[in-house]
Amino acid sequence: MRLVALGRLLGAGQQADSADRAGLIAGAGALLLLTFVAWYPALQTQMVSDDFALVGRIDFSDALRYFRETFGFGRNEYRPLTAVSFAVDNWLWSDNAAGYHLTNLLLHGATSALLFLVLHALTADLALAFTAAFVFAIHPVNHSRATWISARDALVCAVFLLAAIWLHLRARRRGRAGDW
């Protein structure tokens, strides 16, 4: 019950009106665009380090095999959805590194937009949520995730984690989730 009260205090229980929805859509779209503009030079970068073992090398049969095995260049990591994303890139882009970089930029933009939605659901403050997500989107500390093909695992994780949190907050606001 205390967590429910905390969620209401933070604004998770407030209904968004149509102007608020328009602001959310515009903010998420702006973050996707700004992320792409800020990190556009990454599309011209070459492959480095582990990228050579990924670009054009993982197909769908490999990716599906990773659902029952580990993936990660001997690091014993279980991240099958990352392998599936590389298989999709292989199917779309073959061995063109720019396509893989584009996927990373789109994932980073999606992460920024989802962070914006989560922060808005928690604070009900559009400007605060956008500012925080914008700083996250363009901050140089994220350069490896946005520009290094092999570092995609954190982007895939962040997209699913933030989407789950946002959907949970929406369900709580609409009264569809049970008490914590």
CA distance 69 to 66: 5
Name the pTM for this structure.
0.76
* All residues at 6 or more sequence positions from 53 whose CB lies less than 8 Å from its CB, including other chains: 73, 150
pLDDT digits (tens, 9 = 90+) for 124-173: 899 999 999 999 999 877 777 777 777 788 899 999 999 999 999 988 88
**Residue 119, CA distances (Å) to 46, 122, 128, 132 in order:** 34, 5, 8, 8
Q: What is the full per-residue pLDDT of the chain (180 aa) written as tens digits?
A: 444 443 444 444 444 467 788 889 999 999 999 999 998 887 777 666 665 566 666 766 666 676 666 655 555 566 778 878 888 888 888 878 788 889 889 999 999 999 999 999 999 899 999 999 999 999 877 777 777 777 788 899 999 999 999 999 988 888 765 544
Eight-class DSSP state of 44: G
Tokens of 88: 């999709």
Residues 146, 108 contacting (CB under 8 angstroms) = yes
Contact 85, 152 (CB under 8 A): yes
Q: Give the Cα separation of 113 and 33 in Å (integer).
A: 10
